[in-house]
Chain A
Amino acid sequence: MSLSRRTLLQALGLAPGGLFLPSLARAGTSPAKRIVFVVSSHGTVYDNWRMRTGGLPDDADFEIDLTTLADTEFSPILQPLAPFASKLLVLDGIGNGCGLVAAFNEHEEGHASALTGRIPLPVDGSLGAPDGPSIDQVIAASRSTPFPSLEYSCGGWSVNFDDLGQALPYEGDVVAAWQRLFPGGAPTSEPTIADRVLARQGSMLDLVQQRHDALAQRLSGEDRAKLEQHAQLVRDLEGRLAALAELQCEAIEEPDDPYPEYLWGDAGYPGYVVGIFHQLMAAALSCGLTDVITLRIDHINNSTIGAPAGDLHNDYAHQASSDPVAGQIMTDYHTWNAERLAELLGLLDGIPEGSGTMLDNTVVVWTNELATGEHAFPDIPVVIAGGSDFFDLGRYVRWAPTAAVDGPWSDPMIGPPHNQLLTTLGNAMGLGLSHFGVTELPSPDGSTIDCTGMLDRVCV
């Protein structure tokens, strides 16, 4: 029995912020490519997110070399990312045409389309859903890590969907998330009863999987499919536990339970939870537990960003462009998210790997369910960091809008459809996709917008 080990990292003299070591077992092996999706809410405040250095126009394509800018030349929302300028690729002008075409609640549409590139469908009595998987799950299916993917959440609906378009559940409890990654306790010379029970999980799950297969045979249709899927997931778990038992991995310290210092409504709660998730993510990636992680961040208390009382969504997000006070509050909201991203990038960039850092071999994508607080879909805010062998980093890339999408209420102009972003991300992870999600979108003049292929101007 050699499940992962807990170590007291303070004993190693590590300063806060550099909380763990890369897996010793993986040192010297060729770096794997990994991808992290950070998906936040309420779009952005575009005027405070975009960069127009020297008065660059909205209606032309252009690029900005981020490495030559002073921190203060970054837009207010992106400024926390300035220390990572050389490893960033900011993408301005991509539109979520799938969300534009659908005709129900835009928050539901945004969640169902952001990572799927599919036109979401309303579901009677429940949340809207896509008719296929999100890109992270397609990437996950190509990996052989113990966890095909991890989905963490500090509030918000799921943006991750399986092949059938079913939303994946999120882990929102940092303690449970830690226990899942590091199920072993401190190593002991004599295996305890608990160790010996753990060692038998393989045989136990083997029987469980057979029982699901057997019952599935007696059912039909969706019921049968449900149990067959369950059986497959039990098989996967069995394999994962076996793989975990082989891994030598340095665990981070178990998080406090149940958050003695922070409660859900406290100002510091979201930052605490997201911070723990960041550490778990960096540990899981460095240990090779998974190559694909999604972190959903939605819940922020008003006090977290020093905002006055009010419903963040209804009172501020919906007014972000039209009301200066609301615009500043939502700018603070998105800046807070950028600060969190900077924290994650710092962790990944602090782990040496090969001749660089883990960030160089990890694609971190920060995107959003919407483009603005008013539920728009053109110009969704996208920041990529890392993945230096694939992306031409250190740049801000702007695409001017070129085509109108035939929407149910209006026909906004967009730049590249976000399907091309998803295809690009899949290919950054070696999938070799020609397209992802829909292949075309309707224009009001009866023509179609081509959604196939990758983004131009982003690769090395």
Chain B
Amino acid sequence: MWIALLVWGCSGGDTPGEGPPGGTTPVTTPSADGPSPLRRLTSSQYRNTMRDLFLGVDLPELSLPIDGEVHGFDNHHEVQVPSALLIEQYQQAALAVTAAAMDQPDGWLPCDPAVDAGACGAQTVTEVGRRIFRRPLTSDEQQVYTALFDEVLTDDGEFSVAIQVTLQALLNSPEFLYFPELGAQPVGGDRVPLSDHELASRMSYFLWDTMPDEQLLSAADAGLLADPVEVEAQAWRMLDDPRAADALASFHRQWLDLDEIARVSPDPATFPEWDPAMADSMRAELDGHILGVLQGPDPTLSALLLDPTTSVDPWLAPIYDVADGTTELPTAERAGLLTRAGWLAATSHPVNPSPVQRGVFVLEHLMCVELQPPPPDINTELQESQGDAVTNRERYAQHSADARCAGCHDAIDPIGFGFENYDAIGRYRTTDNGAPVDATGSFLHGDLLGGEFDGAVQMSQLLADSQLVRDCVALQWYRYAHGRSETEGDLPEVDRVQQAFSDTGGDVRQLMVEVVRGELFRTRRAM
């Protein structure tokens, strides 16, 4: 079942030892058995958590750094290094949030300071502190934070000042910003079960992209999460909660590079009808498609790739050439994710679509084929006029003519050509520059090897039926859930999750629960 990551050397005619290194990038770390490195909140998790901690408060816009990415995901522990800017932005964010929170305390402050300011401070440390730390405070912790509150209250006299400073200390603490996983208790063997509260945090930030709710915290308080049956029940409950939309959005935003849609900038001369508002509509359509499928009756990878259900607004209507309000796209032209305007525009140049970007995307994101960059001494620019080339596709013929390019582009371009029915803003076309579009192509990898298609609707069907693609998507979810790259020690677990994903017909919600059920999700490596 486990299909190893395919790494595709692109050095063309180079012989080993002469050419540049490449083609053999190790993708697993030997001798590691599923490590659990210290991770912290991502920027989206930080914002979501503030929203849920301070219910009913109109929070200010928070400036947080854009984290780097590994394998496309920003929750990877390797990019979560502290920097001076990050620490300062945390401090500033806590200042802004607590000031706003004190303007609207009704939804979150557990007591009335007018009755007894000192007692209310201690109660807030206990109750709000438990939600900030995602576990009850120890008596030592209760004591130090209450002492800070008492000190400021004594000096200043104003409850608001004292509680803001105290909450800021909690919000800047490592127990809030990071996910310390010290384990339930020392036991023998290689792995230690997470404490109930540590597991609750892992679950909620994976399934919700935010903090645990009271029900999950209470289950952890009661020690119920040591039981995998309870863990699974909680996971299903959480997937049915509206907050699951945040996690689904976060994963797909990163996996599918959806932020690129905002940067779409077509050539005004070629596309005079373009309006930046179209990019917003394109993004909203894709977000709606993803959530519609994954929170609907058939939450599968196949449906993501194939379901033509949509919601067309006035901006999208001319692009799809359908009436405003249309709810199903014409199935001869469109299917799911890879035939939607947003993705197609985001993988285009300003004038022409990019078969290379589109092909690379399918290979890397859906098939987990890692490609090497082009050799540096090659001019990667295509000549505008190349002999008799008329269509966009013909311009790329040079790739297969040059042996150094062909090594990769024989795999990339035939996939990219399958999208030639869509122009640079995603409109369907049957001619390109006056000549008929040729959207035939084929695959070179895994169980897709030899698979031929004419157009992206057929291609989407092949991808939806492919074991290679199912395994790849399961692997992407596994990386995201664990916030790290897979190691050799993960392979049996990755294999199990992939098998389960396949057995359920590619059910993404089942997949998420399967990841949570896994032993490596519920334990950490012994220190």
List residues of chain A with CB under 8 Å of any chain B CB. Answer: 103-106, 122-127, 147-148, 151, 162, 164, 166-173, 175-176, 179-180, 183, 193-194, 196-198, 200-201, 203-205, 207-208, 211-212, 215, 218-220, 222-223, 226-227, 229-230, 233-234, 236-237, 263-265, 301-302, 308-311, 314-315, 318-319, 322-323, 326, 374-375, 408-410
Cross-chain contact A179 with B25 (CB below 8 angstroms): no
A409 contacts B377, CB within 8 Å?
yes
Q: 15 extra interchain contacts, Cβ-Cβ under 8 A, other than A125-B485, A169-B66? A: A105-B373, A126-B69, A162-B83, A197-B165, A201-B91, A204-B165, A204-B168, A204-B172, A208-B172, A218-B182, A223-B37, A230-B174, A301-B265, A409-B375, A409-B377
Closest to B144 in A: A207
Q: In the complex, which residues 83-118 of chain B have their Cβ closer than 8 Å to any Cβ of chain A?
A: 83-89, 91-92, 95, 98-99, 102
Contact with B376, one of A179, A223, A375 (Cβ below 8 angstroms): A375
Assembled-state Cα–Cα distance A326/B380 (Å):
14
Is B249 part of the contact surface with A, judged by Cβ < 8 Å?
A: no
Instruction: Spot the interface stretch: B74-82, B253-261, B414-422, B434-442.
Output: B74-82
A148 — which chain B residues lie within 8 A by C-beta? 84
Shortest Cβ-Cβ A-B pairs, 10 listed: A309-B267, A223-B38, A176-B63, A169-B65, A125-B71, A309-B350, A230-B82, A208-B172, A233-B87, A103-B20
Residues of chain A within 8 A of B376, CB atoms compared: 106, 375, 409
Do A171 and B379 contact each other (CB < 8 Å), given the known contacts A194-B99, A204-B148, A218-B182? no
- Stretch binding the partner chain, chosen from B152-160, B190-198, B449-457, B493-501: B152-160
CB B95 to nearest CB in A, in angstroms, measures 7
Q: Given A198-B95, A233-B82, A409-B375, does the pair A203, B174 have CB atoms closer than 8 Å?
A: no
Contact of B91 (CB < 8 Å), options: A103, A105, A173, A237? A237
Known contacts being A124-B485, A409-B20, is A374 close to B86, with CB within 8 Å? no
Q: Which residue of B lies closest to A410 (CB)?
A: B377
Instruction: Select A180's contact among B66, B69, B92, B380, beta carbons within 8 Å.
Output: B92
- Any A CB within 8 A of the CB of B6: no
Cβ of B315 under 8 Å from chain A: no
| Beta-carbon contact of A230 and B87 below 8 Å | yes
CB-CB under 8 A for A126 and B68, given A180-B88, A215-B175: yes
Q: Contact: A208 with B169, CB < 8 Å?
A: yes
Q: Is the CB of B78 within 8 A of A126?
A: yes
State the CA gap A294–B430 with chains docked (Å): 50
Residues of chain A within 8 A (CB-CB) of B527 are 219-220
Q: How far is the CA of A25 from the CA of B287 in the complex (A)?
A: 54
CA distance A180 to B85 in the complex (A): 9
User: In the complex, what residue of chain A is closest to B84 when comparing beta carbons?
Assistant: A233
With beta carbons under 8 angstroms apart, the residue of B88, B145, B350, B351 that contacts A237 is B88
**Residue pair B173, A237 in contact (C-beta under 8 Å):** no
* B259 CB, min distance to chain A CBs, angstroms: 12
Chain B residues with Cβ under 8 A from A215's Cβ? 174-175, 178, 180
The one of B71, B72, B82, B379 that contacts A318, using a Cβ cutoff of 8 Å = B379
Give the Cβ gap from B110 to chain A, nearest Cβ, in Å: 21
* Neighbouring B residues of A104 by C-beta, 8 Å: 20-22, 373
Question: CA A200 – CA B98 in complex, angstroms?
Answer: 14
Contact across chains for B83 and A169 when beta carbons are under 8 A apart: yes
B106 smallest CB distance to A (angstroms): 18
Is B158 in contact with A314, judged by CB distance below 8 angstroms? no
Counting CB contacts under 8 A, is B400 at the interface?
no
Contact call A168/B165, Cβ cutoff below 8 A: no
In the bound complex, CA of A183 to CA of B85 (Å): 14
Q: Which residues of A contact B20 (CB under 8 A)?
A: 103-104, 408-409
Q: Footprint of A on B, CB under 8 Å?
A: 19-22, 25-27, 37-38, 63, 65-66, 68-72, 76, 78-89, 91-92, 95, 98-99, 102, 144-145, 148, 151-152, 156, 158, 160-161, 164-165, 168-169, 172-175, 178, 180, 182, 263, 265-270, 276, 349-351, 373, 375-377, 379-381, 485, 527
Q: B350 — which chain A residues lie within 8 A by C-beta? A: 302, 309-311
Most chain B CB inside 10 Å of its own CB: which residue of A124, A205, A220, A227: A124
What's the Cα separation between A323 and B65 when bound, in Å? 39
> Are B65 and A234 touching (Cβ within 8 A)?
no
Task: Give A172 to B351 CA distance when docked, in angstroms.
Answer: 29
The 8 Å CB contact of A314, one of B178, B182, B263, B380, is B380
A319 to B379 Cα, complex, angstroms: 7
CB distance from A200 to the nearest CB of B (A): 4
- Residues of the B chain whose Cβ atoms lie less than 8 Å from the Cβ of A106: 376
Kindly list chain B residues whose C-beta atoms are within 8 Å of the C-beta of A197.
Answer: 95, 98-99, 161, 164-165, 168
Among A124, A207, A226, A308, contact of B82 (Cβ-Cβ < 8 Å): A226
Q: Are B175 and A204 in contact (CB under 8 A)?
A: no
Given the complex, which residues of B lie within 8 Å of A410, measured CB to CB? 377
CA distance A410 to B18 in the complex (A): 12
Given A237-B91, A310-B351, are A171 and B85 also a contact pair (CB < 8 Å)? yes
Q: Is the CB of A124 within 8 A of B88?
A: no
Cα–Cα, bound, A127→B67 (Å): 12
B173: contacting residue among A170, A198, A211, A374, CB under 8 A? A211
The answer to whether A314 touches B148 (Cβ under 8 A) is no
Residue in B76, B174, B265, B379 whose beta carbon sits within 8 Å of that of A374 in the complex: B379
Residues on B with C-beta less than 8 A from A211 are 169, 173-175
* Most-contacted residue by chain B among A169, A222, A315, A319 (CB, 10 A): A169
CA distance A257 to B83 in the complex (A): 25
Closest to B182 in A: A218
Q: For the complex formed, measure the closest distance between the CB of B133 and the CB atoms of chain A, giving whole angstroms.
A: 11
Q: A126-B70, A211-B173 are in contact. Are A265 and B37 (CB under 8 A)?
A: no
Task: Give the residues in chain A near B87, CB-CB below 8 Å.
Answer: 230, 233-234, 236-237
